[in-house]
Structure 1
Amino acid sequence: MDATLRLAQQPAADALLGRSPLALMTGMLLDQQVPMEWAFSGPHTIAQRMGADDLDAREIAAQDPERFVELLSQKPAVHRYPGSMAKRIQQLCQYLVEHYDGDAEAVWRDVDGGAELLRRLQELPGYGKQKAQIFVALLGKRLGVRPEGWREAAGAYGEEDAHRSVADITGPDSLDKVRAHKQELKRQAKRAAGK
């Protein structure tokens, strides 16, 4: 895997995301209840704190859970909820070790179609339908992973020229458009709740 991504808006963190399937998958896992850039810079921070250039599913899965929580909790914390996210990251890595021999890219390598890719992603710990659909779109739009039916599997996130999610971010301008889209969705939800 070798892609140019600008999700963390930090060159070293984005370079890791572009070359490491596990880092990208971990960033997507962290992308909740924190700004996108914070979430996607998390894998780089974890790798640095582990004294590595990349993330290794076997190594993370084997970490002492309390020590891994401490690693994510160091200032600045990797996430707003470092304890629960440390647990989720370890669960993800344990799943990858058990089902894909620790190879995150094997989740999408040689899939028969978009529906299978979506199913495989939804089976990952911490990946619900929406997160899995966004990741399908991210793989298709930014990494060229386009099994037959990938846009349909991604739902609205697979639409061309959309600005709905991290799958549509190519730089600061598109990040602003995605952020504006998300804010508009929040405003609509508040209006609907107020009725």
Structure 2
Amino acid sequence: MKGGGNALPRRVMVVADPTRESAGALQYALSHAVLEQDELILLHVENPCSWRNTLSTFLRRPSQSVSSATVATFLEGGAGDHVDFLEEMICACNVAQPKVHVRVEKVPMLQGREKAATILFQSMALGVDVLVIGQRRSLSSSILGYKRPGGSLRGTKSIDIAEYLIENSKCTCVGVQKKGQNAGFVLNSKTHKNFWLLA
């Protein structure tokens, strides 16, 4: 996805949570999706139930590429309970891509909506061009998928948020799975399923 020249500035949004999946999504965005003239938006959907997660759930082994190593080093750096993971993500962005403008959007879960619907709404409201989300796929979700009759998100905890966003986003949406220390990424989008990208 990287390129150069006279490309128009884009808004790239990464769903930011204190999870390994989110760290992998940020690594992918910084190393493969964001260009110097782009704006990077870190979107965190605030959910009181999720604040028990700490920075210690981030990736612990940096990969060998410069940007990924930089990101992983920052993200594993202060694994205490009181560390603001968004601040750590911003620091990682500033080191890996110093010319990219980074901003944070913290939004509450929309009343009566699920997290996926809140992310979808924000991506449209902010005019996002590329949406990047960390994805954890189990064998059952790969076989059974996320779809339910009527496309509703309500009434189930097994919804794959990334799959929902990939299918319903107006912009390009990429689900990212970080594979091991140096193994790269597995990407999912509307046009590519389980696409392996080396680090």
TM-score by length of 2: 0.35
Greater helix fraction, Structure 1 or Structure 2: 1
